[in-house]
Structure 1
C-alpha cells in the first residue's frame, strides 16, 4: 500500500509544477485534514507556492509546521523558506532563517545573495559573497549572476562593480558560461554603458536568444533605434530563434522612430512565426500602430483577438487617446466596464485621461466607483488622475473630497489640486493650499517650479498682485528655483491685468535672453488689451526679428498689426500660418447633454 504522504506529495508537486499555486495550498490543507503530515519533500513545494502568491501569512504557518515536525535543520527545507520570505519581501526573516541554519549548502548561500540582489543591496551581497569564499565554498555561475545583478545608486560604482565581477568570473573559469556573460552584458546595457555591452556581445561566439534580446534592449534604452533594426536583421540572417522579447524590442524601435512601414513588416513576421496571438506582443503591436497614427489597423488587430486581456484593452484605449479619438476611447472604455475583465491602474488612468479630454463626468464617476470597488481609491497615482479629471469636468468639490481623504500626499497630488483651483479662478483657495503644503515639513514636501507656476497662475487670474509677487521672489530666494519663461509670463500677465504696465515692463528687463521671446509675446498681449498702441508697435518690431514659433503667436502678431493699421504686415503673418502649416487650436466648450455613444 503506497505511503499517504507520498501520494499527497505527488499531487502537490504536479499542482505547483503547473502553476496552480492556490490549488497547491488547498491540497495541503486537505492533506492536514486527512491527518497526514508533510515531510522534507512537501514543504519546499508549499513554500514555493506561498512565495509565488506573495502570501506571507500562509508562509509563516508553513514555517511553524516545519519547526513542529522537526525539519528546522533540514537544508533543503530551510533554503526554500528563505526563498519564500525573500519573494514576499520579508528580507529580515529570510536572513534570520539563513543565520539559524546549522549547515549551509551552496544553494543556501546563493539564495541569500540573490535576496540581497533583489533589494539592490550590493554591499550586503558582496559581504556575504566574501564570507562564503573565506569559508572555502567555491561560487558557481548562479552566485556571480546574483552578485553582478545587485544594484547600486552610484552609476560609476555600479559600472566598476560589473567590470570587477566580470574579471573575477573570467579568472575562475566562467569566461564561456553564457548565463554569466548575459548577466554582465545586461548590467552594462541597463546602466547605459552600451559600448561595454557591445564589446562583450561580439566576444560571445555561441549566442542564445537572451544574448540577442539583452543587446537589443540596451540599444532601445540608449535610444539607438537604427541599431535595433540592424541587430534584428543580423539575428535573422544568422538563423537565431525568435522569441516574444526580441519582437517587443523591435516594435519599441518602430514606435520611437514612427515607422509605420516597419510596423507592418514586423506584423507580417509575427504572423509567419506564430506570435500574432501572444497577448503581450499583440498589445505592443496595437500600441505601435496607434502611435504611428494608424488606429484603423490597430483596431483591426484588437478585434481579431477573441479573448482579450487587460493589456490589449489598455493599448487600444490609450491609442485612441493618443491620436485624439476621444469619443472612440470613451466608447471602448464603456465596453470594457461591461465585461468581467478587471481594469488595471494603468487602464483606469488611461480612461480618466479620455474623460479629461472629452469632459465626460458621467464616465469619470463610473471609473471612480470601479476604483472604490477594487480598493484602489487611495492609490496616489490614481487619486491624482481622479482629481485632475473632476477639475477638468468642472466638479471642483468632488476633487477636493478625494484630495482631503488621501493620506501621505505627494508633491504631484498637491500640485494637481492647486492647479485645479487656479483653473477655476479660486485664487485664495489655491494660495491657502500652497501655504498648507509648505507647512507639511513632516513629509519633506518642497515646492518645485511646476507648483509655483500653478500658484502664480491662480494669483494672475484673481488679481492677487502682492501675493503673486511674494511667491515669485520667494521661489528663488527660499527654494533656489530659477524662474522660467512660464513664471515671468505669469507675473507679466498678473501685472498687466491689474493695469500695472510700467511694472510689467520692468519685469521683462529681468528676463534671461533665452526666455525673452515668450515673455515679449505676453507683454504684447497686455499692450493690446490696454490699447497701448505705441508700446505694442515697439514690441512688434522687436518680435518680427524672431520667427513665430506657433500659430497662436502668428495670429496674435497679425491682430496687433491690424489694430495698428499695418494691413500689409498682418496679411503676411496670416499667410505665414498657412505657408508653415501652423495651427491655432480654436476655443471650444462642451456640454454633456446626452450619451456620446
Structure 2
C-alpha cells in the first residue's frame, strides 16, 4: 500500500498495530510508530492507543507507558489499555495506582477496567485481596450482570482454588458462556476434584453448550488425576465423537492421559494416528516412555524425531536427558550435549540441571561439576541435583562443602528436598555428627519440619554407623505413622554390622506389619547368611515359598558399544 503511494488513515494504523501485536513483532511495530509520527497521527488517540497496546503485547511495557504519558489527551480506552498492560505483567500495584489516578480525574471505571484489573490478580497469592475489592466494587455499581466481568471474577477464584466462592458466583449467574463453564471446571481441576469436573461437563452438554478445546483439556486433566484406563478410554471416545481427537492442542494431552494411566500402547496408537506431529506431541510420547520405565524406547523415538523435520525444544531435551540418566546411556547423553551446544541451549537453566543429573547418574561426576560451575544463575533445583550427585557417589564432604557454599550466597533458602539430599550425603559417607547438626539446623534455623524422608535418612545414618540404640531412641521420638517405614533400613544395617539379636527383633516387627513384603524376608535372610546361619536362611526361603510370595529379580544395566 505504501509503495503504491497510499499512506493510510486513522483506521489503517490500528489494524497493522494489531497484526504486529499478534505476531509479537516489535521491530515492525516501531516502523509503524515512526510512520504514524511522519503522518502526523501523534494526536490521534485511536492510533496512539493501538500502538500502546502493541508495545504491551510485545512485552515492551516501558515503551507503552512512555507513549501513555506523552498522549495529549487520554480516553477511557487508553486508561483501560495501560491498566491491562500492567495486569498482563502481573504488576497489580501499578494497575491500582492508575485506577486511583483515573478516579481522581473524575472518570468512572467501566466493566472493562475491572476485567483488566482482575487479569493481574493471578500473579501472586497476595493479589487475591485486590481481586476481592474489584468484585465488591463491581457488585456495588451493577457490573455483576456483565458476563465478561463475572467470567473474569470466576476465573480469578478458580485460579486461586477458591472453588466455594467460584461455585457461589457460578450458581448465581443467569447467563453462562463456554468461558464460564470452562473456568469453573478449571477450578475443580486445580483442587484435584476430578468427579466434579465430569459432573460439570455432563451438565454443560445437557445445557446444549458445545465444548471447545479448553473444556476438553480440563476433561483430560481430570482423567489424568484419576489414573484409570477405563476413564481414559471414555474421554477418548467423547473426543472422537466430537471431532476433537485430531486437534493439535488435544493430541499431546491425550498421549499424556494414556501414559499416566499406564496404557502406553494406547498412547502410541494416538501418536501414530496423527498425520501432522508437532514437537509437543513428540515430547509427550517420549515423556510417556520415560515415566513408564521404557527409557530405551524413549531414546529410539528421540532418534526418529531428529530424523524428522521437527526440531526438539527445551522440554524435549530435558525429557530425553532423563531417559539417558535412567538407562545409564552415557554415550547418548553426550550426543545430546553436543546437540545442546550446537543449537545454543547450553545457557538454559533446566537443560543445565538435566545435564548435571544425567552425568551424575551415569558416573561422570566431574563433568557434572564443570557444568554446575559454568552455570551463570543457579536455582535450588540445580543445587539439590549437584548435592545429590555427590551423595550418591559417596562424596559426603564435597556435598557438605557445596551446601555451605550455597548458604554463604544467601540468595537461596534451603527447602525440605535439599535437606534430604544433604542428609543422604551424610548417611552414605558416615558423617554422623554432621548429619545430626544438619537435622537440628533444618528445624531451628530454617523452619523446615521433618517428613518421613528426613526420618529415613537419619535412621539410616545412625544404623549404618552401628548406633542401633540411638537409632531406636530416634524412632521412638518419631510420629507414629512414620515409625513403620524406617525399620527396613535398620534391618539392612544389622547385616552390615552382623548384629543377629537386634536384626531378629526388628524383623519380627516387620513381619507383623508387612507379612507379604518379600524384601523384608530377604533382608533377614541376608543377615543370617552374613553370620553363616544357613539353616535359618533355608527356613526363611522355605517360608517365602509356603506363603506363595514371589521375589522380584534385581536388574543392572551396562552400556556396550553405545
Q: Same fold (TM over 0.5)?
A: yes
Query: For the structure 1 residues 569 and 199, does the alpha-carbon distance in structure 2 shift closer, same or farther, using more than 3 Å as the test?
Result: farther
Structure 2 residue aligned with 1:448: 415
Structure 1 residue aligned with 2:430: 463
Structure 1 residue aligned with 2:70: 100
- Residue among 468, 484, 505 paired with 1:517: 484
Q: Tell me the alpha carbon deviations over residues 398-445 of structure 1, each in whole angstroms, 9 at most, x when there is no partner.
A: 21221111111112111111111221222333233222222223xx22
Point out the more displaced range, 409-418 or 454-463. 454-463
Report the CA distance between 1:586 and its aligned residue: 4.2
Query: For the structure 1 residues 179 and 469, does the alpha-carbon distance in structure 2 shift closer, same or farther, using more than 3 Å as the test?
Result: closer
SS at match of 2:337: helix
Structure 2 residue aligned with 1:424: 393
Query: For the structure 1 residues 244 and 154, does the alpha-carbon distance in structure 2 shift closer, same or farther, using more than 3 Å as the test?
Result: closer
| Uncovered stretches (5+) of structure 1, i.e. residues with no partner | 1-6, 9-30
Instruction: Please list, as runs of the form range in 1=range in 2, the aligned pairs for 1:202-217 lying within 5 A after superposition.
Output: 202-217=171-186
- Residue among 74, 79, 84 paired with 2:44: 74
Report the CA distance between 1:279 and its aligned residue: 0.8
Could you tell me whether the CA contact under 8 Å between 1:555 and 1:573 is conserved in 2?
Answer: no
Instruction: Please list, as runs of the form range in 1=range in 2, the aligned pairs for 1:167-182 lying within 5 A after superposition.
Output: 167-182=136-151
Report the CA distance between 1:331 and its aligned residue: 1.0
Q: d(CA) in 2 for partners of 1:445 and 1:456? A: 18
Q: d(CA) in 1 for partners of 2:164 and 2:34? A: 51
Report the CA distance between 1:395 and its aligned residue: 2.0
Q: Tell me the alpha carbon deviations over residues 101-155 of structure 1, each in whole angstroms, 9 at most, x when there is no partner.
A: 1111222111011012112233332332343344343443322211232316775
SS at match of 1:389: helix
Could you tell me whether the CA contact under 8 Å between 1:558 and 1:574 is conserved in 2?
Answer: no
Instruction: Please list, as runs of the form range in 1=range in 2, the aligned pairs for 1:145-294 lying within 5 A after superposition.
Output: 145-151=115-121, 155=125, 158=128, 161-294=130-263
| Uncovered stretches (5+) of structure 2, i.e. residues with no partner | none
Q: d(CA) in 1 for partners of 2:36 and 2:302? A: 49
SS at match of 1:150: helix
Query: For the structure 1 residues 186 and 573, does the alpha-carbon distance in structure 2 shift closer, same or farther, using more than 3 Å as the test?
Result: farther
SS at match of 1:182: helix
Q: d(CA) in 1 for partners of 2:48 and 2:547? A: 73
Structure 2 residue aligned with 1:129: 99
Report the CA distance between 1:469 and its aligned residue: 4.3
Could you tell me whether the CA contact under 8 Å between 1:98 and 1:112 is conserved in 2?
Answer: yes
Q: d(CA) in 1 for partners of 2:455 and 2:188? A: 40
Could you tell me whether the CA contact under 8 Å between 1:353 and 1:389 is conserved in 2?
Answer: yes
Report the CA distance between 1:312 and its aligned residue: 0.9
Structure 2 residue aligned with 1:552: 519
- Residue among 393, 402, 414 paired with 2:362: 393
Could you tell me whether the CA contact under 8 Å between 1:355 and 1:363 is conserved in 2?
Answer: yes
Q: Tell me the alpha carbon deviations over residues 442-498 of structure 1, each in whole angstroms, 9 at most, x when there is no partner.
A: xx2233333333233333333344544444444344434444444444444444444
Q: d(CA) in 2 for partners of 1:169 and 1:499? A: 67
How many pairs does the alignment contain? 559
- Residue among 78, 82, 86 paired with 1:112: 82
Q: d(CA) in 2 for partners of 1:499 and 1:557? A: 17
Could you tell me whether the CA contact under 8 Å between 1:561 and 1:570 is conserved in 2?
Answer: no
Query: For the structure 1 residues 380 and 354, does the alpha-carbon distance in structure 2 shift closer, same or farther, using more than 3 Å as the test?
Result: same
Report the CA distance between 1:40 and its aligned residue: 3.9
SS at match of 2:249: helix
Report the CA distance between 1:254 and its aligned residue: 1.5
Could you tell me whether the CA contact under 8 Å between 2:518 and 2:544 is conserved in 1?
Answer: no
SS at match of 2:412: coil
Q: d(CA) in 1 for partners of 2:57 and 2:66? A: 15
Instruction: Please list, as runs of the form range in 1=range in 2, the aligned pairs for 1:348-363 lying within 5 A after superposition.
Output: 348-363=317-332
Could you tell me whether the CA contact under 8 Å between 2:122 and 2:160 is conserved in 1?
Answer: no
User: What TM-score does the superposition give when structure 2 sets the normalisation length?
Assistant: 0.89
Instruction: Please list, as runs of the form range in 1=range in 2, the aligned pairs for 1:12-23 lying within 5 A after superposition.
Output: none
Q: d(CA) in 2 for partners of 1:540 and 1:307? A: 57
